[in-house]
Chains A and B, each alone.
Chain A
C-alpha cells in the first residue's frame, strides 16, 4: 500500500481516469482499506443519484428553423409556371386584340369602341357630381350629352360621324353601347401582363429565399 487514503483520487479511479500505475496503486490500497472502500461506494452511489435525476423537457422547440418550409419550393415552381402562362396569355390576348383591331378597320375601330364605352359610362354615371340637380328639363340630358360629346371627340372624325347633339344623339350612343357587347376582360393583355409580372416577381423572391444563407 503506497498511498495514504487516496481520497482525492477516488473519483478519478471510479471513472477509470487515472494512469495505469495510479489506478493500480489505488486498487491496492482499496484492497486493504475498508474506509476507502466505503467512500468509494458512496461516490458510486452519488453518481447513481446524479444519473437518476429527472430529465426536464423544454416547453418549446429549441432547434432553430434553418430550412425553409417544405411548401416553399413547390410554390416557387407554381409561381414560375404561372408567370410563363401569363406571358403566353399576354401575347395571345395582344394578338387577338390586334386581329380584332384590324378586322374593325384600323385604329378607328378600336377608338370607336372605346369611345362608345366611355359614352355609355358617362350616361350611366350618377349625378352625384352635381349637388343640385334640376327637377326636370334639359340639365341631365345636357350633362349626358356633354359627356357623350367628350367621348365622341376622341373618335376619328372620318371613321365615325360625331354624335348628333341633343337627346337623340345620346340615345344613339346608348344604343350603340348596348348593341355591341363589352369585350371579355380575359382578352385584356394588360391583365395578363400584370399577372405575369406579379407571379414572376414572387417566383424570384421565393427562389432567393430558398437559396439564401441563413
Chain B
C-alpha cells in the first residue's frame, strides 16, 4: 500500500466495510500487482495466478465485514496466499514436492564448488535473477511463501505468521532455510558472495 496516507487508507477501508464497492475496488487495485506476483511465484503459471487473485479479491469483498486486526494489505495477502496454496494442493502439479517438508539440516552453508563467473557483479542481472527465480520455484511451497512474503513483500515476521497461520518460530525457520537454498543455488553457479 505504498504512498497512501493512513487516513486515506482507513477512510477507504471504512467505506468498503459499509458496502462501498468503489472504495474496495480502489483498495484492491493498489495491491493487484503485488498479489499477482506473489500468487504467480506460488502457483507457477500466469493464468492460474490471475484466477487465484481474482478469486481472492472477490472473496475478500464478500468477507470484508469480518476484516479486523491485521493490516488490510496483510489481510488481502492472507486470503490470496491461502487460495494459492489451496490451488497448488488441488492441482498437485508437483506431487513429489511436499508443501512443507520436515526440517532438513542438510540445507547448510554450501561453499563455492568451482571458480565461475562472479555473480556478485551480476546483481540485478538476468543470469543471477534467473538462478534465483529457478531456485525459488524449487523450494517447498510454504517455504517459498514465507520467503516471498518477507523478502519481496517486506512483511514483518509477525504478519507472516498470521498470514500463513503458523508459529513465528516456523516462520523464522522457513525464511532462513529458503534463503539458504537460494544462496546455495547461486553458490552452485559459482557465486562467491558479495565479497567475491
Listed in ascending order, the chain A residues whose CB lies under 8 Å from chain B are 7-8, 10-12, 15, 17, 38-39, 41-60, 62-67, 213-214
Contacts A11-B175, A48-B123, A64-B57 given; indicate if A58 touches B32 (C-beta within 8 A). Answer: yes
Q: How far is the CA of A214 from the CA of B40 in the complex (A)?
A: 27
Q: Are A42 and B183 in contact (CB under 8 A)?
A: yes
**Chain B interface (Cβ < 8 Å from any Cβ of A):** 19, 21-22, 24-25, 28-29, 32-33, 35-37, 40, 46, 49-50, 53-54, 57-58, 61-62, 108-109, 120, 123-124, 128-129, 132-133, 136, 147-148, 150-152, 156-157, 172-173, 175-176, 179-180, 182-183, 186, 193-195
Extra contacts besides A11-B175, A39-B109, A62-B32 (20): CB < 8 Å: A7-B109, A11-B176, A12-B157, A42-B183, A46-B183, A47-B151, A49-B132, A49-B186, A50-B136, A53-B129, A53-B132, A53-B133, A55-B33, A58-B50, A59-B50, A64-B28, A64-B58, A66-B21, A213-B19, A214-B21
A10 touches B33 (CB 8 A): no
With A15-B157, A66-B24, A67-B25 as known contacts, state yes or no: A42 contacts B194, CB within 8 Å: yes
Q: Point out the residues of chain A lying under 8 angstroms from B62, CB to CB.
A: 214
Other-chain residue from A38, A45, A48, A58 in contact with B33 (beta carbon distance below 8 A): A58
Contacts of B61 in A (CB 8 A): 64, 66, 214
Majority SS at the chain B contact face: helix
- Contact assessment for B120 and A45 in the assembled complex, using a CB-CB cutoff below 8 Å: yes
User: In the complex, what residues of A have CB within 8 A of residue B128's CB?
Assistant: 49
Provide the residues of chain B in CB contact with A38, threshold 8 Å: 193, 195
- Chain A residues with CB below 8 A from B54, complex form: 62, 64
CB distance from A178 to the nearest CB of B (A): 62
